[in-house]
Amino acid sequence: MSLLELQNKLMAIKEAGLGAIGQAASSDELESARVKFLGQKSDLKSIMGTLSSFSPDQKKTVGQLSNSVRQDLEAALKERQASIYKIELAKRLESEKIDISLPGLGRPQGKIHPLTQITEEIISIFHGMGFSVVEGPEIETDYYNFDALNTPADHPARDSQDTFYTEVDAHVLLRSQTSTIQIRAMEKMTPPLRIIAPGRVYRNEEVNARKYPLFHQIEGLLIEKNVTFGQLRGTLMEFYRLLFGRELKTRFRPDFFPFTEPSAELDCQCPFCMGSGCRTCGQRGWLELLGCGMVDPNVLNAVGIDSQEWSGFAFGMGVERVAMLKYGISDIRHFYTNDLRFLEQF
């Protein structure tokens, strides 16, 4: 290629490059123009790579013209780049602008777990009835969990299929009821007394819509003179009326507990099927609310309380079961899945 042809080609490259750079409307288009006219595979680089084949005079002429074209293109590229940056920045600011007069976005706040809510409400109601709260250890001995509660040595509840024993000591276990707290309270306190004992308990239960190996109980105990079963019934009926804000359809069924005599189960009509039978109530139409009864004289005598002078009643309710009724929850497992869609409702 002659010197004149090279000069004409360089001027054509310059003209085409300046045109492409000037017409670029975005950073991407400008980058494409840079690669095409100034990149390693551009025509300008190819011409500059052939300078060694020219004579010294031609090399000087072509070299100077090539450098001039390159400098003009780079200057145009820099100028257009600054212009495009201003345009794109203005568009970005317009799309991202905020109204500083608007209130800020609040952070989501944590909620009190529904089991904690219902526990606090239950405690508040019993406080109004003169009951005080006592607490005790979750890891217990079989004496407080069974022996002191008049439970015989061959009772099925003592079996490892029902109770979680520790590997360290065969007589140490995770308490299966908060009645253990009642025994400890009666050992330290003198009658008359009215106490409730909330806490977690553990039983080797099959997991289903109504049962879970970990759950919460609230036990109640009243020791006074001349206590009757009618007082027990009246206390429970008033408690549920205050808790639910209405009367429930309930029934007492005779039952047996080693530490109360006579004993009973208090049921209410299943609110999910209205007594027709469903998964939540096990097709029975009724849900167990609690177990209750008059304190067995053997339990009182074992802790040094004269059963001839004092009598009392006791009851124990599952907090989850009460929450299911109050909030319309059909499956106990919802309390332990930590599903925010469930928890945020409370």
- Dihedral sign, CA of 299, 304, 305, 309? positive
- Give tens-digit pLDDT for 184-219: 999 999 999 999 999 999 998 888 877 888 899 999
Judged against a pLDDT cut of 90, whether residue 25 lies above it is answered with: no
Burial class (CB in 10 A: 0-12, 13-18, 19+), 246: exposed
Q: How far is CA 123 from CA 239, 290, 291, in A?
A: 10, 16, 18
Q: Exposed, middle or buried by CB within 10 Å (0-12, 13-18, 19+), for 30?
A: buried
List, for residues 118-151, the tens digit of each pLDDT value: 999 999 999 999 999 999 999 999 999 998 888 8
Q: Looking up tokens 């492409």, which residue turns up?
A: 20
Q: Over the stretch 35-82, which tens digit does the pLDDT of each residue have?
A: 888 888 888 788 777 777 777 777 788 778 888 888 888 898 888 888
For the chain, the domains span 3-96, 114-343
- One-letter amino acid identity for 115? L
Render pLDDT for 90-117 as a digit per residue (tens, 0 to 9). 888 888 888 888 887 788 778 889 999 9
Give Cα 90 to chain centroid, integer Å: 43
Q: Is 70 exceeded by the pLDDT of residue 1?
A: no
Topology (CATH) of 114-343: BirA Bifunctional Protein; domain 2 (3.30.930)
The residue assigned the tokens 């019993």 is 126
Using the predicted structure, report yes or no on whether residue 228 has a pLDDT greater than 90.
yes
User: Which residue shows structure tokens 């069924």?
Assistant: 253
What's phi and psi for 263, nearest 5 deg? -125, 155
Instruction: State both tokens at 232.
Output: 């027990």
